[in-house]
Amino acid sequence: MSGNLVKAGFAVAGYDPIARRRAQLKRSGGRPANDIAGAVRDAPFAITSLPAAAALLEVAAAIAGAGKPGLIVIETSTLPIEVKEKARDVLAACGIVLLDCPLSGTGAQARVRDLSVYASGPRSAVQRCAPVFEAFAREHFHLGPFGTGSKMKFLANLLVEGERVTLIDFDDCGFGWFMYDFAAAVSFHEDDPQAGEWRTRWLAGYEAVRPLVPADRAVLEAMVLLRRMALLAWIGSHHETELARAHADDFAARTARLAVKYLG
């Protein structure tokens, strides 16, 4: 995103606690700041992309102490709406506007300006941000009052018809071993306490359509661990994404525990 903003003619300053990412910003033509205050001071717009609720509240407090009234903060993280509302209220007390603007797209899409922005908040503020959106995204929409953008993001991979809800994101399913489909379904949640119940229900649903043989059941845990190892590699190669950053701290250690359990 920062590289595309620079290409569009924006003077970009940014801060990330990870030195490697600050170096990447410098290589793309931006100015790395020493802290959040240095990134937002005198800026008309700020963009935040954060891995967790606590991080958003911490950053909002820092911006409130450094940003000037009239600053518009484009909040692109996928986080609970109530947390974003708290951040909005902290900034509003200082005359700063926070917009709820989650993104649809991957890190690879961000590099080629192929993102969608689901903007929500005051229409006038969203309209002022249009040149910024157009610099890093393929399309942008004003969806209504604050929080509507997040609601749209949460529903992006669901098809709703009355009371029936169907998942429509199956890019990792239907290829190769069919038992891998269950592993894809529990991605990032393989060690959840309810995983055993999910497995039982998934198998019952599967066998309502197609019978399984003992070999199918026997390979299921291997497929889950295989998928988990693939996700571990994915976190390393997609470290710039919110999803990867949200799991990075303990994902490897949890994966190792799953492997030890599998090996018995």
Ranking 29-33, 38-42, 172-176 by mean pLDDT, the lowest is 172-176
Closest of 185, 166, 165, 164 to residue 174, by C-alpha: 185
Per the confidence metrics, is the pTM higher than 0.85? no
Same domain, 190 and 257: yes
Neighbours of 102 (CB within 10 A): 24
Q: Is residue 160 in some structural domain?
A: no
pLDDT at residue 156 greater than cutoff 60: no
Domain C-terminal end among 154, 188, 223: 154
Q: Is residue 162 in some structural domain?
A: no
Mean pLDDT for 36-54 is 93
Same domain, 146 and 201: no
> Mind giving me the DSSP string for the chain?
-HHHHHHTT---EE--SSHHHHHHHHHTT-EE-SSHHHHHTT-SEEEE--SSHHHHHHHHHHHHHHPPTT-EEEE-----HHHHHHHHHHHHTTT-EEEE--EES-HHHHHTT--EEEEBS-HHHHHHTHHHHHHH-SEEEE-SSTTHHHHHHHTTTEEEETTEEEE---TTSSSS-TTHHHHHHTTT-TT-TTHHHHHHHHHHHHHTTS---HHHHHHHHHHHHHHHHHHHHHHHHTTTSHHHHHHTTTHHHHHHHHHHHHH-
Burial string for 210-239 (b: 16+ CB within 10 Å, else e) reads eeeeeebeeebbebbbebbeebeebbeebe
Number of domains in the chain: 2
Same domain, 79 and 40: yes
Same domain, 39 and 145: yes
Same domain, 13 and 112: yes
Mean pLDDT for 127-147 is 96
Residue 134 has a pLDDT of: 97
Q: What is the pLDDT of residues 7-30, one digit of tens each?
A: 999 999 999 998 998 999 999 999
Mean pLDDT for 64-78 is 94
Same domain, 254 and 184: yes
Provide the CATH number for the domain around residue 48: 3.40.50.720
Same domain, 136 and 233: no
Q: What is the pLDDT of residues 217-257, one digit of tens each?
A: 999 999 999 999 999 998 888 877 767 887 888 899 999 99
Q: Is residue 146 in some structural domain?
A: yes
Residue 170 has a pLDDT of: 59
Tell which wins on pLDDT, 192 or 91: 91
Residue 76 has a pLDDT of: 96
Same domain, 187 and 217: yes
CA–CA distance, 52 with 33 (Å, rounded to integer): 21
Same domain, 116 and 47: yes
Inter-axis angle of helices 81-92 and 53-66, nearest 10:
10
Same domain, 121 and 174: no
pLDDT band at 106 (very low <50, low <70, confident <90, very high): confident
Q: How many CA atoms lie within 13 A of 17 on its CB side?
A: 7
Mean predicted lDDT score pLDDT of the chain? 90
Residue 167 has a pLDDT of: 65
Domain C-terminal end among 123, 154, 185: 154
Q: Is residue 22 in some structural domain?
A: yes
Q: Is residue 218 in some structural domain?
A: yes
Inter-axis angle of helices 251-263 and 214-237, nearest 10:
160
Q: Is residue 16 in some structural domain?
A: yes
Same domain, 16 and 145: yes
pLDDT band at 109 (very low <50, low <70, confident <90, very high): confident
Name the percent of the chain lying above pLDDT 70: 93
Tell which wins on pLDDT, 186 or 131: 131
Q: Is residue 88 in some structural domain?
A: yes
Tell which wins on pLDDT, 260 or 185: 260
Residue 209 lies in domain: 170-263
pLDDT band at 199 (very low <50, low <70, confident <90, very high): very high
Residue 175 has a pLDDT of: 61
Q: Is residue 84 in some structural domain?
A: yes
Same domain, 39 and 147: yes
Residue 247 has a pLDDT of: 83
Ranking 116-120, 183-187, 240-244 by mean pLDDT, the lowest is 240-244
